[in-house]
A and B are shown apart, each in its own frame.
Chain A
Amino acid sequence: MDFTFSEDQLLFQQSLRDFLVKEVTPARIRQGWESDSGRDERLWRQLSELGVVGMTVPEQYGGLGMAELDFILLAQECGYVALPEPLVQTVLVAVPMLRDLGGELAATWLPRVAAGEARVAVGLQQNLLVEDAHCADLLLLERGGAIYAPRPAQTELRHNPSVDPSRQLYAVELTEALEPVATDEAAALLAAGALDRGALGCAAQALGLAQRMVDMSVDYTCQRQQFGQAIGAFQAVKHHMADVAVRLEYARAPVHRAAYGVARGEARASEHISHAKLVACEAANLAAKNSIQVHGAMGYTWEVDLHIFMKKAWALANSWGGEGFHKSRVAQYVFGDDARIGAGATFG
C-alpha cells in the first residue's frame, strides 16, 4: 500500500507547471479569444516537444508509452492555468481510443499525434457537442452505437459559443456515408472508455482550477483594504476560503485513485471515476462561488481574470457526464445488492 506518486511523476508535474505558468498566462488566454481558431499552434508544438502530447502514445508509435496515472498530476496543472489547448482530451481520451482501436488507424495517426502534427477530436453521444472539432485532422464519433472516423472534409461543423470563451464546441454532421471503424460491443467499450477518461480529465482539471481560484482569492483578499485592513483578515472572508480548502483537500485522493484504477483496468474504475468527478467538480464549483464572493464586484467583471477559471469550472462540471449521470453510476453500485461498502472495503 503506497498512495504516493513517484519522484519521476512529481518531477514531470513540476516541469510542466513551470512551463505552463510562464507560457499560459491569462493575458495569452485572452489573446486566444481574439483569434479565429482560439488555438495556438506554437504552444501545441512546444507541448509536444516536452513529450506531453504523446505521453500515452505507445513507444512503438513515437510516444512515451505512459499510463493515465502518469498524466493525472499534469492534467491538474492544465486546470491550474485553464489551458485552452485540448491537451487533456488528447492524452486521456483520443490517444487511448486510437490505441484501443489499433490497426491501421492507430499506426497512421498515433505517430502524428505524438509528433504534434495532427490533432484528433472525440465526440460521444453523451456529449452534446464535440470539443475542438474545428482544428482536428481526424474525428472519432460515436453515432448510433458505432464509431466512425471521418476526416474534416467528410464533416460539416456548426460552432456553438460557450460561456467559457476558451472552449471551442461544434455540432458535427457527417456529409457522406462512412463505414464504421467499430460496432456493437467493441464500439460500446470504446465509447465507455472514452467517457470515463473524459470525465477523469475533467476531475483532474477541476482540482487545478479550484486551487487556482483559491490562490487568486487569497492574493486578492490580502491586498484589498476596507475598514483600514486587508479584507482577508475578516473571519467571514477567511471561512469562505477555508471551506474550499476542506472540499479540495478531500477531492484529490479520489481523483488519484480513479486514475490508478483506469490505468490498471480495475472492475470498479467507472464508479471511482464518477466519484472523482463529482467531488472534484463540487470543489471547483464551491471555489468559484466563494471566490467571486470574496472578490466582490471585481469578480463580476470581464477585466479581472477570475472568470477565466470560474467559467471553465462551470463548463467542466456538466461535460463528459453531468452530476446526474455520475451520481446514478455510484448509486447503482452503492444501492445494489452486491455492494461491498464500509470499513476495509475501499481498496478491493
Chain B
Amino acid sequence: MDLSYTSAQQAFRRDIRDWLVANVPAQALASFDTAVGFRQHRAWEATLNAGRWGMVTWPEQLGGRGCDLIEWLIFEEEYYRAGAPARVNQNGIFLLGPTLMEFGTPQQKARFLPKMATGEEVWSQGWSEPNAGSDMAAIRSSATRHGDKYVINGQKTWSTRAVWADWCFGMFRTDPESQRHRGLTFILVPLDSPGITVRPIPQLNGLPGFAEIFFDNVEVAVENRLGEEGAGWPVAMATAGFERGLMLRSPARFQETARRLVQLYKANRESADRDPALSDAVLRAYLDAESYCLATYQTASRLSQGGKIGAESSTNKIFWSELDQAMHATAMSILGARAELLPHAPDAVGVGAWLDGWLFAQSGPIYAGTNEIQRNIIAERMLGMPR
C-alpha cells in the first residue's frame, strides 16, 4: 500500500490543471438541455478533444491518453475542481464508448468512436419503454430483418439527451417469438432517420432533458448492430455496468458538492446552528464523500492489478445517489426561505446552484437502474440471497 501519488501522476495532475485554467470558459455555459447550451457544450467537447483531454482513458490512437483508472480519478478531481462544463456526450463517452471497445467490430470502432470523442456525434440512450422500465427484459419495440436492414417499430422513453442528440443506442426485439432476455438486439440508430419522431419531455426543472422516441418503420443498416443478433442482453448489461461503475459518477463530483456544502454552512452558521442536526448533516456529507473517494481508489487499485468488479458495483450507485440527495437536502435547509427561489429571482442572494442540484438529485435513485433494483442485485448476486 502506498497512498501517495507518483511523480508521473503529480505531473499529470499539473498538466490537466494548467490546461483547464487556460481553457475553461470564464462564463458558465447555458444548460445543455437548452438549444443554445447544447451547442456550447458540443463545442466544449471539441475543445477538450483538441487538447486530448476528451476521454483520457481511451487509447492514444483514438485521441485518448491510455490513462489507467487512478489517472482517470485524478482527471475527474481536477475537472470538477475547475468547475468545468458538464459532459453533454456522457451517454456516448462513458457508456457506449467502453461498450463499443469491448463488443464492437474494428469498423464500428473506427466509424463511431472518433466522432463521439469530438462531440460531432452526441448520443442518447434508448432502453426504457412505457412498459419496460425497471423490467428492461419486457422490451417490445421490434427490429425486423429485411436483407441488410432492420426495420424498427415501437417506442422508447426517458431517452436522456435525445432532444438534440444525433444518435441513439438501444435494445430492440429481433425475434418476435422470444421471451424476456432472449431475442433482444443492441442497435445504434441515427436520430435523423425517416420515421423517427422525438417528443421532448420537460423534467422537474422545466427543461427537456429527456424525450420519447417513436419509431415508425425506421430502416437501420445491419452494420449498426452491436454484438450478435439476439445477444443484446449481455452487451446492455456491460453498458449498465459502466454506468453504475466508476466512469459516470466518480467521487470528485460529490466531494466538490460536500466542499461547497461546508462553505455554505460556514457562511450561514448563525442561522444554520439553530437546527443542531445541520452541522451533523454537513459532517456526514463530508465523511461519506470521503468514504466514497477512498473506496473508489481502493477499487481502482484492485482493478489495475487485474481484479474484477462484480455485483458490488451496485453499492456504488446507491451510495452516491443517496449521498447526493442528502447533501442537497441539507443545503436546502441551510438556505431556509431562500431555498425555493429560482436563481434569477431578485432576492435570491447566495443561493448558488443548490436548487438545480436538488431537483437533479431526485433523479439519482431512479436512473441507471432504480435503487430498489440495485438492492435486489446486491442481495441476490453479492450476498447470495434467494431470487
Q: Contact between B287 and A249 (Cβ–Cβ < 8 Å)?
A: no
- The contact of A342 among B76, B259, B265, by CB within 8 Å, is B259
Q: How far is the CB of B60 from chain A (nearest CB, A)?
A: 22
Q: Contact between B266 and A233 (Cβ–Cβ < 8 Å)?
A: no
Answer whether A69 and B298 are a contact pair too, CB < 8 Å, given A242-B378, A250-B315, A330-B286. no
**Counting CB contacts under 8 A, is B375 at the interface?**
yes
Chain B interface, DSSP helix/strand/loop, else mixed: helix
Mask: chain A, 224-261; 1 = CB below 8 Å from B; 0 = not: 00000110110101110111011001111110110010
Q: Which B residues are closer than 8 A to A by beta carbons?
A: 1-6, 9, 13, 70, 74, 76-78, 80-81, 251-253, 255-256, 258-259, 262, 265-266, 279-280, 282-283, 286-288, 290-295, 297-298, 300-302, 305, 312, 315, 318-319, 372, 374-376, 378-380, 382-387
Give the CA-CA distance A243 to B376 in the complex, in Å.
Answer: 11
Mask: chain A, 306-348; 1 = CB below 8 Å from B; 0 = not: 0000000000000000000001001100110001011111111
Q: Contact between B375 and A238 (Cβ–Cβ < 8 Å)?
A: yes
Residues in chain A near residue B4, CB distance under 8 A: 1, 347-348
Q: Contact between A346 and B383 (Cβ–Cβ < 8 Å)?
A: no
**Counting CB contacts under 8 A, is A275 at the interface?**
yes
Q: A232-B379, A237-B385 are known; give 11 further A-B pairs, CB within 8 A.
A: A1-B6, A2-B301, A4-B1, A233-B385, A242-B383, A245-B379, A245-B382, A250-B295, A253-B298, A334-B282, A346-B255
Chain B interface: which of A112-120, A135-143, A214-222?
Answer: A214-222
Residues in chain A near residue B259, CB distance under 8 A: 341-343
Give the CA-CA distance A321 to B262 in the complex, in Å.
Answer: 24
8 A–B contacts, CB within 8 A, in A order? A222-B384, A235-B375, A241-B385, A245-B315, A250-B295, A334-B283, A347-B3, A347-B297
**Counting CB contacts under 8 A, is A5 at the interface?**
yes
**Counting CB contacts under 8 A, is A206 at the interface?**
no
Give the CA-CA distance A330 to B290 in the complex, in Å.
Answer: 12
Residues in chain A near residue B80, CB distance under 8 A: 343
Give the CA-CA distance A229 to B387 in the complex, in Å.
Answer: 11
Residues in chain B near residue A238, CB distance under 8 A: 375-376, 379-380, 385
**Counting CB contacts under 8 A, is A213 at the interface?**
no
Q: How far is the CB of B239 from chain A (nearest CB, A)?
A: 22
Tell which of B279, B312, B382, B385 has the most Cβ of chain A within 10 Å. B385
Residues in chain B near residue A82, CB distance under 8 A: none
Residues in chain A near residue B81, CB distance under 8 A: 342-344
- How many A-B pairs fall under 8 Å by CB? 169
Residues in chain A near residue B13, CB distance under 8 A: 344
Number of A interface residues in the complex (CB < 8 A): 50
Residue of B nearest to A229 (CB): B386
Q: Contact between B280 and A232 (Cβ–Cβ < 8 Å)?
A: no
Residues in chain B near residue A275, CB distance under 8 A: 287, 290-291
Q: How far is the CB of B75 from chain A (nearest CB, A)?
A: 10
Answer whether A239 and B375 are a contact pair too, CB < 8 Å, given A214-B383, A256-B1. yes
10 smallest beta-carbon distances between A and B, as pairs = A342-B259, A238-B379, A253-B294, A343-B252, A242-B375, A344-B77, A3-B301, A242-B378, A343-B77, A232-B385
Q: Contact between A243 and B305 (Cβ–Cβ < 8 Å)?
A: no
Q: How far is the CB of B261 from chain A (nearest CB, A)?
A: 10
Residues in chain A near residue B297, CB distance under 8 A: 1, 3, 253, 346-347
List residues of A (60-95) whose CB comes within 8 Å of B's CBs: 69
Residues in chain B near residue A121, CB distance under 8 A: none
